[in-house]
């Protein structure tokens, strides 16, 4: 696999690193052959006045981070966790913020927990893969892969984790039954804060951006 599945920008002298996880099918391959990353343009133009380093990660196989990542040896969360630790060290980060929407939000929560990120911001994240979703996107699609199903449910992962440092902030549409269910499953866990938007849509990031909520959270992280 020679695709570009991650992109790093460690050009800032900042000790803050933002890791942005891509959503389902939100990657693309322009005519140049270089992969696009959904958070890149936002950070480059809308928040160009803020100093922080950036790491963009995409799961081009839409496997909820459970299969391969380019030429890295191994598959799944353990492989990506090791990679993230290496990038955090390379960036000289003292504080890390993990962000993502939907499948990206799932990744932000999972790897934020595993790497003890300072803060996680997840928008309409899945918090578990139902049997139907596991069969469709993992078992059937990647037959022969040794997928660890214990890593497909964030609730027990967070409950059993010894990480009490990471702050998890989650936003979802209050009128979206699926996203409400996903958020409520982990609402009792320490350091998890649930925020709602009066919307039935799955994608609630746009009103959050327009209201300035994301900028405010980002600035607080950078203090």
Q: What is the pLDDT of residues 101-129, one digit of tens each?
A: 999 999 999 999 999 999 999 999 999 99
DSSP codes of every residue in 113-140: HHHT-SEEEEES---B--HHHHIIIIIT
Domain assignment present for 14: yes
Count of domains in the chain?
A: 1
In a domain, 25, yes or no: yes
Q: Kindly indicate the confidence band of residue 27, based on its pLDDT and cuts at 50, 70 and 90.
A: very low
- 199 found inside a domain: yes
- The answer to whether 99 touches 19, Cβ cutoff 8 Å, is yes
Mean pLDDT of 40-48: 95
| pLDDT greater at residue 36 or residue 201 | 201
Q: Which of 60-69, 111-120, 129-138 has the highest mean pLDDT?
A: 111-120
Query: What is the average pLDDT score of the chain?
Result: 92
Whether 99 is covered by a domain: the verdict is yes
- Domain range for 27: 6-222
What is the reported pTM?
A: 0.93
Using pLDDT thresholds of 50, 70 and 90, give the confidence band for residue 1. very low
Distance of CA 126 to the CA centre of its chain: 11
Assess contact for 168 and 112: CB atoms under 8 A: yes
How far apart are alpha carbons 113 and 43 in whole angstroms? 23
CATH number at residue 168: 3.40.50.1820
Whether residue 130 contacts residue 51, with contact meaning beta carbons closer than 8 Å, is answered with no
DSSP string, 56-113: EE--TT-SSS-S--TT-SS-HHHHHHHHHHHHHHHHT-SEEEEEEETHHHHHHHHHHH
Q: Is residue 1 part of a domain?
A: no
């Amino acid at each position: 696999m020679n695709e570009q599945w991650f992109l790093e920008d460690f050009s800032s002298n900042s000790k803050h690193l933002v890791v942005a996880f891509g959503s389902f099918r939100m990657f693309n391959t322009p005519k140049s052959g270089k992969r696009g990353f959904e958070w890149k343009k936002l950070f480059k133009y809308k928040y160009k006045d803020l100093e922080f380093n950036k790491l963009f990660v995409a799961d081009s196989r839409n496997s909820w981070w459970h299969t391969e990542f380019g030429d890295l040896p191994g598959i799944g969360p353990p492989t990506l966790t090791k990679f993230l630790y290496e990038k955090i060290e390379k960036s000289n980060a003292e504080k890390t913020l993990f962000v993502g929407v939907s499948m990206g939000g799932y990744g932000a929560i999972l790897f934020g927990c595993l790497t003890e990120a300072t803060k996680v911001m997840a928008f309409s994240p899945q918090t578990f893969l139902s049997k139907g979703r596991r069969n469709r996107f993992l078992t059937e699609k990647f037959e022969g892969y040794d997928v660890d199903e214990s890593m497909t449910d964030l609730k027990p992962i967070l409950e059993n984790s010894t990480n009490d440092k990471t702050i998890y902030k989650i936003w979802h549409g209050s009128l979206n039954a699926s996203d409400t269910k996903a958020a409520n499953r982990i609402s009792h866990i320490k350091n998890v804060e649930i925020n709602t938007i009066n919307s039935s849509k799955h994608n609630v990031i746009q009103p959050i951006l327009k209201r300035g909520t994301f900028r405010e959270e980002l600035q607080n992280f950078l203090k």
